[in-house]
């Protein structure tokens, strides 16, 4: 009897403990996300540090060298790229209010009404819907960064986290492993190693893939003379990290912008063609080379993960959903294989 009561108490206490942890995680999610982003960046940059170490630098100097390069890149980004992007966002908002795009949208409405008779009597009100959508979108870009904590804090904390994780990450993992009881120590070590092997390639691949796609999109949109090419290209690159939905969103936004600004059909087609070509290049050339050893996940699982991520943590959740799901999948599978091996060996 006592044993059952004890056991019951233990279960209740464990559940309460888990709930408490869950509550803390949810309450601190905005800060945790900064740390997660920092950890991800450090993880992506780790092989570069190891390479510099291999070239004879100490871990600290290797980290410092990477940080100097990153600071330079950040400076270039803030100095040369951010102002035009902000200008471009302002221009989009201004244009939506002006008559030029209203005229174009009216034309599209007319076109839809003429060709889709069933919509003849429905009030389409595209102008207003588009206005709300774009306003919402640009507001959410600002609020995304703004709400997480102020931009300055984020910009200070993330590099801080990245620097120390890059420099001391291994020692940190080692000291965390040292707390694990002897009984589970080797299994945990094996699990960390296997997860790292599978996820590392995938995450680094996705990151560099996004960089390449972003760059290609910017160049393509610039060549096609699409306004706000920097903003849309950068967005397309970032969005590419969210499977299936991302690439489509990038293209749709680019076409939408062309529609709003001048409505030239041939330009729209060219933009669509350019995005299709970039996706083709991505799938045939970049993905197989860059995203090596990617984690095999069913498309349904990927979409489910993206939706769940978006539901809980918004846009950032959508970006982090796939790696998180991949880590979970590797973890569960490894534990399952281990269990099978131990029990049936």
Nearer to other proteins, 98 or 343 (CB): 343
How far, in Å, CA of 291 to CA of 209, rounded?
7
Site string for other proteins, 41-60 (x = CB under 8 A): ---------x--xx------
**Smallest gap from residue 338 Cβ to other proteins (A):** 7
What one-character-per-residue DSSP string does 43-65 give? HHHHHHHHHHHHTT--HHHHHHH
**Smallest gap from residue 53 Cβ to other proteins (A):** 5
**Smallest gap from residue 98 Cβ to other proteins (A):** 58
Site string for other proteins, 164-203 (x = CB under 8 A): ------xx--x--xx---xx-xx--xx-xx--x-------
| Nearest residue to 39 via CA among 82, 325, 31 | 31
How far, in Å, CA of 261 to CA of 271, rounded?
14
Burial of residue 221 (CB within 10 Å: 0-12, 13-18, 19+) is buried
How far, in Å, CA of 188 to CA of 180, rounded?
8
Nearer to other proteins, 79 or 344 (CB): 344
- Non-local CB neighbours of 308 within 8 Å, separated by 6+ positions: 317, 321
Nearer to other proteins, 108 or 191 (CB): 191
How far, in Å, CA of 227 to CA of 193, rounded?
46
Residues in the chain: 345
Nearer to other proteins, 49 or 287 (CB): 49
**Smallest gap from residue 329 Cβ to other proteins (A):** 20
Span 111-170, contacts to other proteins by CB under 8 A: 170
**Smallest gap from residue 59 Cβ to other proteins (A):** 9
Nearer to other proteins, 125 or 186 (CB): 186
Nearer to other proteins, 281 or 338 (CB): 338
**Smallest gap from residue 52 Cβ to other proteins (A):** 10
**Smallest gap from residue 288 Cβ to other proteins (A):** 24
User: Measured on CA atoms in the order 194, 184, 177, 12, is the torsion positive or negative?
Assistant: positive
Q: Is 75 in the site for other proteins (CB under 8 A)?
A: no
Torsion on CA atoms 89, 159, 292, 338, rounded to nearest 10: -130
The stretch near other proteins (CB under 8 A) out of 122-130, 199-207, 299-307, 335-343 is 335-343
User: Measured on CA atoms in the order 295, 301, 305, 307, is the torsion positive or negative?
Assistant: positive
Nearer to other proteins, 199 or 232 (CB): 199
Nearer to other proteins, 115 or 182 (CB): 182
**Smallest gap from residue 236 Cβ to other proteins (A):** 34
How far, in Å, CA of 162 to CA of 166, rounded?
6
Nearer to other proteins, 75 or 339 (CB): 339
Torsion on CA atoms 26, 30, 35, 39, rounded to nearest 10: 80
How far, in Å, CA of 158 to CA of 35, rounded?
7
**Smallest gap from residue 187 Cβ to other proteins (A):** 8
Angle in degrees, CA 40, 43, 48, rounded to 5: 135
Can you give the binding site for other proteins, defined by CB under 8 A?
Answer: 50, 53-54, 170-171, 174, 177-178, 182-183, 185-186, 189-190, 192-193, 196, 338, 341-342, 345
């Amino acid at each position: 009897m006592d044993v059952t009561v004890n056991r019951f108490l233990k279960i209740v206490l464990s559940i309460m403990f888990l709930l408490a942890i869950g509550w803390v995680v949810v309450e601190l999610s905005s800060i945790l996300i900064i740390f997660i982003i920092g950890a991800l960046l450090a993880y992506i940059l780790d092989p570069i540090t190891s390479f510099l170490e291999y070239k004879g630098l100490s871990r600290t100097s290797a980290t410092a060298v990477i940080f100097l390069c990153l600071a330079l890149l950040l400076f270039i980004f803030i100095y040369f790229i951010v102002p035009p992007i902000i200008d471009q966002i302002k221009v989009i908002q201004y244009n939506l209010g002006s008559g030029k795009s209203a005229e174009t949208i009216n034309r599209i409405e007319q076109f839809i009404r003429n060709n889709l008779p069933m919509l003849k009597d429905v009030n389409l009100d595209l102008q207003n819907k588009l206005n709300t959508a774009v306003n919402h979108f640009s507001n959410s870009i600002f609020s995304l960064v703004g709400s997480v904590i102020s931009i300055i804090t984020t910009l200070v904390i993330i590099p801080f986290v990245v620097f120390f994780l890059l420099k001391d990450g291994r020692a940190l993992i080692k000291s965390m492993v040292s707390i694990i009881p002897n009984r589970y120590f080797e299994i945990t070590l094996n699990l960390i190693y296997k997860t790292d092997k599978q996820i590392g390639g995938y995450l680094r691949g996705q990151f560099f893939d996004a960089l390449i796609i972003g760059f290609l999109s910017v160049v393509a949109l610039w060549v096609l003379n699409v306004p706000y090419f920097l903003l849309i290209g950068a967005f397309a690159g970032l969005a590419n990290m969210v499977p299936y939905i991302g690439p489509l969103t990038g293209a749709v936004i680019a076409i939408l912008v062309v529609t709003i600004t001048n409505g030239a059909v041939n330009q729209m087609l060219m933009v669509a063609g350019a995005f299709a070509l970039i996706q083709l290049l991505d799938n045939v050339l970049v993905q197989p080379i860059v995203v090596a050893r990617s984690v095999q996940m069913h498309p349904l699982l990927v979409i489910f993960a993206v939706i769940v991520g978006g539901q809980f943590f918004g846009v950032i959740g959508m970006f982090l959903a796939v790696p998180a799901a991949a880590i979970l999948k590797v973890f569960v599978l490894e534990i399952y294989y281990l269990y099978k091996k131990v029990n049936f060996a």
